[in-house]
Amino acid sequence: MEAEGRLLGPPLPAGGEGPGIESHLSEGALGTARGPLLAAAEVLALDDEEDDLEVFSKDTSLAEVNSFSPSVPISPSSMINQYKFEDGPELRDLFITVDDPESHITAIETFITYRVVTKTTRGEFDSSEYEVRRRYQDFLWLKSRLEEAHPTLIIPPLPEKFIMKGMVERFSDEFIETRRKALHKFLNRIADHPTLTFNEDFKIFLTAQAWELSSHKKQGPGLLSRMGQTVRAVASSVRGAVKNRPEMFTEMHNYMETFSQKINLLDKIAHRIYKEERDYFNEMKEYGPIHTLWSASEEDIADSLKGIASCIDRCCRATEKRMAGLSEHLLPILHEYVLYSEILMGVLKRRDQIQGELDSKVDALANKKTEKDQFSEEIGRLEDKVEHANNALKADWDRWKQNMQWDMRSTFTNVAENNLRYYEESQTRLHFQILLQKMPS
Amino acid sequence: MESTEPEPSDSRPEEEEEEEEEEEEEEEEEDGALLPPEQPLAAVEDCLAKKMEITVSEAEKRTGRNAMNIQETYTAYLIETRAVESQIEGQCAPVESLWRRYSEFELLRNYLSVTYPHIVVPPLPEKRLSADNMDPDFVERRRIGLENFLLRVASHPVLCQDKIFYAFLMQEGGWKEMVNETGFQLKADSRLKALNATFRVKNPDKRFTELKHYSDELQSVISHLLRVRARVADRLYGVYKVHGNYGRVFSEWSAIEKEMGDGLQSAGHHMDVYAASIDDILEEEEHYADQLKEYLFYAEALRAVCRKHELMQYDLEMAAQDLTSKKQQCEELATGTVRTFSLKGMTSKLFGQETPEQREAKIKVLEEQIREGEEQLKSKNLEGRDFVKSAWADIERFKEQKNHDLKEALISYAVMQISMCKKGIQVWTNAKECFSKM
């Protein structure tokens, strides 16, 4: 049970399981800025200590809109612009938005709910429009249901539960906005998925009122059965499920190991770049005004000085925009794929486990000559299961890779465009300034 | 910086006043102003800088024994000069050269400051007291600064004609002795005297007071600007260099990708280029910073001229005060009235008056002193006014030079920034193309 009020001091690592009541963190304690500039060699070496969590910390220098009512586009056409649909926009029949975070305070706890709006033309939905409120716990429930139903499909990542490593205020505007965007993405990726989009729990999640959802949740396999699965999974993974693994999945496994490593590095690099840009911005803010101050003691060169001051200010504003671009696009995408890499490793493991079940039964059959019929029926069932799992994973893997490629291409292109815009804006102002200088006064 | 001299400003008051070089010119005594003798101004075309190429071309580590016979390491700088004659058939005059160390430059500057107190003497690059005077970057920038100093002196209408300066450039041996023989150290004003004058002077020329304020402001704002610029440069360095990490990771990632591989790999290469480009950019900016720094140090030279004026003015005021009190004494003695309290007056009341002969003698002495005093006051007045006039002329020259130089520096800064933007645009355009092919 959680007490009211806030804990002081560093957050205690909360236990992982269950419908956790999120613990309060000390308010207003933020990560400290990085220390003095590193030499070239140091800058190039990123190690595990570089846990930059700018995305989650309060940053008042950002020009981001205060996000208690974020301007999330509701209209379908603008949602289409947000990311690609494999089947083409005209085939889309389910549109979901997540917005309007609201704080709820009860005697026991404080939590945030988000509004989930669904618009659809599908026949299996009773209505064409739904509006419900969901909290993070509900999303967790949905994800675990999907994982159970489709163990070898790639279920999209959810934003993390806690941020353990920094002293971050859990309910900071920026944290909530980042989470909201990630939840929005989560639901839309499911809607996009050829199989998951028709999942019954997904439909209930989108349409049920709060009490309906609670009662439905209680019907599912409880905590115990999930734990049972975990135990079995661990047991079977120990027993060389790897040995009969088809070549294709070994390749996937190797790929994911490298991919996971690289994407984590990129995530760190991107955060570091963001931080460096912010530090640069902070110094630049002071740089321009000095020129203006100087111009006050001068006559002949006052105009030149003021001109340089305005160029520097323009550059400052352009830097702000560049930073905003990073935090809106690159950072969330890289983070999502960091989570994806964990998910994929998990999916590969589960596939191995399913195969492991079959293999162990086959081994057992080899030892027991009796009860052959019973066994062979079970083995047949398991063989089907393995084949189904493998096919599902293969298809989903291909789909995931395509999406990943598309996402990376568009995100990094966006980064390049941001930088181009930054340099072009700065350059324009400078050109103009030089023209002014050279004009006879 | 290249070894062409900084362009002397085009319109200078001295040029309009004097065309001849050699003769002392006596103007009419409308305002009693005589330019200091033996210091005619050189016209622009005859400044040493135009007649001679001057460079500080090399720096070399040396070891030797100093004045206290202690072994030390120092850097010596090679000064090369060559007469610029009309070049017939591509013939060049031979290059002459000699080595000088920083302390000799300092000696030269001190000599010039004392000998020409009405001139804003160009500053030397800074005397760095911290650890590494041997650091090659520091030595290189100092070399450029020293060359700049020599060129500034050589283009100054007054300073360029100084014999000691010429000997500094041409005569390796015995130069130090030559300087010391001028006895300039004796002419130097003590700091204490100058400080005293600054506080007590009653009627300094307002323009000098304003100039002093200006030079304080200039120094403060330029040093603030340089500090922030250095921090901005550090941050910018960080931004660029971190992008270099992309290169490495993209390259490693591309190894496991089939379709994306090429795009990633080549994009990574552009990120490397981007990260490397900052080095040249920042080096250029250092030159810009040095240009500003020169004017930071010029502020001190301006203040020195103001101080000299305050000293002379104070001296004048004291002399006038002294004369007035002597005249009063004389009058009192002559008329027997005591207008002001004086110990003498009291004692004579107490102990009886002096004899008329004694009084006469005193009066005679005082009258002689008064006559001398009046002569001195007259000449001090003249000196003071001459100083103000010639100092102000050089200050106007300096102002034009400063405005010109700083404006050019600011323009060149903008040009540098544009060049940086251009490079950025090029790199990111290439990177964008690579990304779009992923």
- Please give, rounded to a whole number of angstroms, the shortest distance from the CA of B238 to a CA of chain A: 6
* A260 contacts in chain B (CB < 8 Å): none
Give all strands (DSSP E) within A240-396, no chain letters: none
Mean pLDDT of chain A, nearest integer = 77
Q: What is the rounded CA–CA span in Å between residue A40 and residue A25?
A: 36
- Transcribe B219-279 into DSSP letters: HHHHHHHHHHHHHHHHHHHHHHHHHHHHHHHHHHHHTT-SSSHHHHHHHHHHHHHHHHHHH
pLDDT at A72 over 70: no
SS3 A258: helix
Distance (Å) from the C-alpha of residue A389 to the closest C-alpha of chain B? 25
Contact A409 B436 (CB under 8 A): yes
Stretch (H or E) spanning B396:
helix B356-436
CB contact under 8 Å between B225 and A265, yes or no, is: no
Choose the closest CB to B421 out of A412, A417, A423.
Answer: A423
Give the mean pLDDT of A157-183.
76
The pLDDT assigned to B186 comes to 86
Task: Check pLDDT > 90 for residue B257.
Answer: yes
Residues of A in contact with B417 (CB under 8 A): 311, 315, 426, 430
Q: Which residue has the higher pLDDT, B13 or A432?
A: A432
Percentage of chain A modeled with pLDDT above 90: 45
Short-list A128, A427, A265, A9, CA closest to B246 = A265
Token pair of B16, please?
A: 């309009």
> What's the pLDDT band for A88 if we cut at 50, 70, 90?
low
CB contact (8 A) between residue A416 and residue B415: no
pLDDT score, position A378? 82
Contact B411 A46 (CB under 8 A): no
Share of chain A above pLDDT 70, in %: 70
Identify the pLDDT of residue A24: 37
Provide the edge-to-edge strand list for the sheet that holds B52-65: B52-65, B71-83, B96-101
CB contact under 8 A, B232 and A280: yes
Interface probe with B: pick from A38, A44, A268, most Cβ of B within 10 Å: A44
Interchain contact, A283 vs B231, CB within 8 Å: yes
Contact flag B242-A265 (C-beta cutoff 8 Å): no
Is residue A115 within 8 A of residue A99, CB to CB? The reply is yes
pLDDT tier at A141 (50, 70, 90 boundaries)? very high
What average pLDDT is seen over chain B?
A: 84
> What H or E segment, with its residue span, contains residue B401?
helix B356-436
Residue A127 has pLDDT above 50, yes or no: yes
Mean pLDDT of B199-215: 93
If one compares B201 and A365, the residue with the highest pLDDT of the two is B201
Average confidence (pLDDT) over B352-368: 79
> Pick from B228, B252, B422: which is nearest to A287 by CB?
B228
Reported ipTM: the value is: 0.81
- Best CA proximity match to A177, nearest among A101, A97, A63: A101
Which A residues 232-261 touch B at CB under 8 Å? Answer: 255, 258-259
What pLDDT sits at residue A218?
A: 76
Contact across the interface for A266 and B249, Cβ inside 8 Å:
yes
Residues of A in contact with B255 (CB under 8 A): 258
Q: pLDDT per residue over A189-218, tens digit each?
A: 999 999 999 999 999 999 988 888 888 877
Q: Is A388 on the interface with B (CB under 8 A)?
A: no
* Residues of chain A positioned with their CB less than 8 A from the CB of B243: 273
- Chain mean position to CA B49: 17
Does the beta carbon of A37 lie under 8 angstroms from any beta carbon of chain B? yes
Q: A111 by DSSP, 3-state: which?
A: strand
Contact A304 B438 (CB under 8 A): no
Q: Is the pLDDT of residue B229 over 90?
A: yes
For the ranges A421-435, B253-267, B313-327, the lowest mean pLDDT is seen at: A421-435
Closest-approach residue (CA) in chain A for B221: A294
Report yes or no: A287 and B229 within 8 Å, Cβ to Cβ: yes
Cβ within 8 Å, pair A276-B411 = no
- Cβ under 8 Å to A: B residues 266-325: 267
Distance between CA atoms of residues B386 and B82, nearest Å: 36
Of the partner residues B241, B256, B418, the one whose CB lies closest to the CB of residue A430 = B418
Residue B198 DSSP symbol: H
What Rg value do the Cα atoms of chain A yield, rounded?
Answer: 27
Q: Is A55 on the interface with B (CB under 8 A)?
A: no
Burial of A348 (0-12, 13-18, 19+ CB in 10 A): buried
Whether A304 sits inside 8 A of B415 (CB atoms) is: no
Q: At B45, is the pLDDT very low, low, confident or very high (cuts 50, 70, 90)?
A: low
CA A278 – CA A66 distance, rounded (Å): 19
Q: Find tokens 């002569």 and name the residue.
A: B375
Q: Could you tell me the strand order of the sheet in which A129-135 lies?
A: A94-105, A110-120, A129-135
What does the pLDDT look like over B87-106, one tens digit per residue?
Answer: 556 666 788 889 999 999 99
B172 in reach of chain A (CB within 8 A): no
Average pLDDT over residues B341-355: 63
Say if the Cβ atoms of B246 and A422 lie within 8 Å: no
- Contact A276/B421, CB-based, under 8 Å? no
What average pLDDT does this structure show over B188-198? 86
Mean pLDDT, range B412-430, rounded to an integer: 94
Cα–Cα distance for residue pair A214/A138, rounded to 1 Å: 9
Q: Which amino acid is at A17?
A: E
Tokens of B303: 């203040």
**Helical axes A136-149 vs A173-192, angle rounded to 10°:** 30
Per-residue confidence band for A227, with pLDDT thresholds at 50, 70 and 90: low
What span, in angstroms and rounded, lies between the C-alpha atoms of B287 and B283?
Answer: 7
Bridge partners (DSSP) of residue B101 are B76
Q: Flag whether residue A412 sits within 8 Å of chain B, measured between CB atoms.
A: yes
Listed ranges A221-225, B257-261, B423-427; the one with the highest mean pLDDT: B423-427
Nearest CA in chain A to B414: A430
Comparing CB atoms, the residue among A283, A290, A413 nearest residue B436 is A413
Residue of higher predicted confidence among B226 and A168: B226
Indicate yes or no: CB of B242 within 8 angstroms of CB of A269. yes
In chain B, what residues touch A61 (CB-CB under 8 Å)?
A: none
Q: Hey, what are B107's tokens?
A: 């000696």
Rounded to an integer, the average pLDDT of A245-274 is: 94
Q: Is the pTM of this model over 0.80?
A: no
DSSP line for B128-192 = --SS-TT-HHHHHHHHHHHHHHHHHHHTSTTGGG-HHHHHHHH--TTHHHHHHHTTHHHHPPPHH
pLDDT at B63 over 60: yes
pLDDT of B26 reads: 39
Is pLDDT of B132 > 80? no
Look at A301 and B238 and tell me if their CB atoms are within 8 Å.
Answer: no
Q: Residues A320, A334: contact at Cβ < 8 Å?
A: no
The DSSP H or E segment spanning B426 is helix B356-436
Residues of chain B above pLDDT 90, percent: 56
Q: Are the Cβ atoms of A434 and B414 closer than 8 angstroms?
A: yes
**B143 Cβ neighbours under 8 A, 6+ residues apart:** B56, B58, B59, B77
> What does the pLDDT read at residue B37?
46
> Phi and psi of B366, rounded to 5°?
-60, -45
A419 Cα to chain B: minimum distance (Å): 7
Which of B259, B262, B260 shows the shortest CA–CA distance to B270?
B262
**What is the structure's pLDDT at A369?**
63
**Which residue has better confidence, A423 or B52?**
A423
Residue-level pLDDT at A64? 38
Contact criterion met (CB < 8 Å) for B242 and A311: no
B248: chain A residues, CB-CB within 8 Å: 44
**Taking Cα atoms as reference points, which of A52, A419, A42 lies closest to residue A264?**
A52
Among the residue ranges A320-334, B178-192, B338-352, the one predicted with the least confidence is: B338-352
- Contact between B252 and A258 using a beta-carbon 8 Å cutoff: yes
Bridge partners of residue B237, in order along the sequence: none
> Which residues 225-254 of B are in CB contact (within 8 Å) with A?
225, 228-229, 231-232, 234-239, 241-246, 248-249, 252-253
pLDDT value for A37: 40
Q: With an 8 Å Cβ cutoff, are B421 and A430 in contact?
A: yes
Q: pLDDT grade, residue A67 (50/70/90)? A: very low
Q: Which of the four pLDDT bands, split at 50, 70 and 90, describes residue B43? A: low
pLDDT band at A71 (very low <50, low <70, confident <90, very high): very low
Distance between first and last Cα of chain B: 45
Mean pLDDT of the region A247-271: 94
- The pLDDT of A220-229, averaged and rounded, is 54
For residue B297, what are the contacts with CB-CB under 8 A and spacing of at least 6?
B123, B124, B126
pLDDT exceeds 80 at position A244: no
Sign of CA dihedral A82, A84, A85, A87: positive
Q: Is the pLDDT of residue B138 over 90?
A: no
8 A C-beta contact, residue A273 and residue B242: yes
Per-residue model confidence (pLDDT) at position B67: 74
Tens digit of each residue's pLDDT (9 = 90 or more) over A402-415: 999 999 999 999 99
**Secondary structure of B262-322 as H, E, C letters:** HHHHHHHHHHHHHHHHHHHHHHHHHHHHHHHHHHHHHHHHHHHHHHHHHHHHHHHHHHHHH
Nearest CA in chain B to A427: B418
Q: Do B403 and A300 touch (CB under 8 A)?
A: yes
Look at A78-87, A256-265, B247-256 and tell me which has the smallest mean pLDDT: A78-87
Whole-angstrom Cα distance, residue A233 to residue A238? 9
Report the residue of A269, A305, A422 to disrupt the B interface, i.e. the one with the largest count of B CBs within 10 Å. A269
Which of the residue ranges A167-171, A357-361, B290-294 has the most confident prediction, judged by mean pLDDT?
Answer: B290-294
Residue B87: predicted pLDDT: 56
CA distance A403 to chain B (A): 12
